[in-house]
């Protein structure tokens, strides 16, 4: 069992060594995800770390989104954007 774990760890390390981080950065640095354009206080990343890493809860997307949509700063930003949308009509 220990031998298998060690083999797996070594195999994973070899894989990591084979990843060309320089090329990866060059290729993907210009690409931004939508969340990166959102104000920092409403980005989901903080809640993701809390739920998945700290609390070890592995939620379905819909369950996570329901929890995320209760974040006060998210709700305020959502209302502000809706108001802007309706004002433009």
Instruction: Grade residue 89 by pLDDT with cuts at 50, 70 and 90.
Output: very low
- How much is the pLDDT for 17? 92
For residue 48, the model assigns a pLDDT of: 85
Tokens of 55: 């609390």
Closest CA to 52 of 63, 38, 37: 63
pLDDT digits (tens, 9 = 90+) for 14-45: 998 999 989 988 888 787 776 667 776 667 78
In this structure, what are the phi and psi dihedrals at residue 37, rounded to the nearest 5 degrees? -90, -10
> Model pTM greater than 0.75?
no
In whole angstroms, what is the distance from residue 47 CA to residue 23 CA?
Answer: 31
Q: How confident is the model at residue 61 (pLDDT cuts 50, 70, 90)?
A: confident
Average pLDDT over residues 38-57: 81
């Amino acid at each position: 069992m220990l031998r298998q774990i060690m083999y797996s760890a070594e195999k994973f390390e070899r894989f990591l060594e084979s990843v060309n981080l320089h090329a990866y950065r060059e290729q993907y640095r210009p690409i931004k995800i939508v969340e990166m354009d959102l104000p920092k206080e409403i980005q989901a990343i903080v809640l993701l770390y809390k739920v998945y890493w700290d609390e070890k809860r592995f939620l379905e997307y819909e369950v996570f989104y329901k929890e995320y949509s209760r974040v006060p700063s998210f709700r305020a930003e959502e209302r502000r954007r809706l108001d802007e949308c309706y004002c433009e009509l």
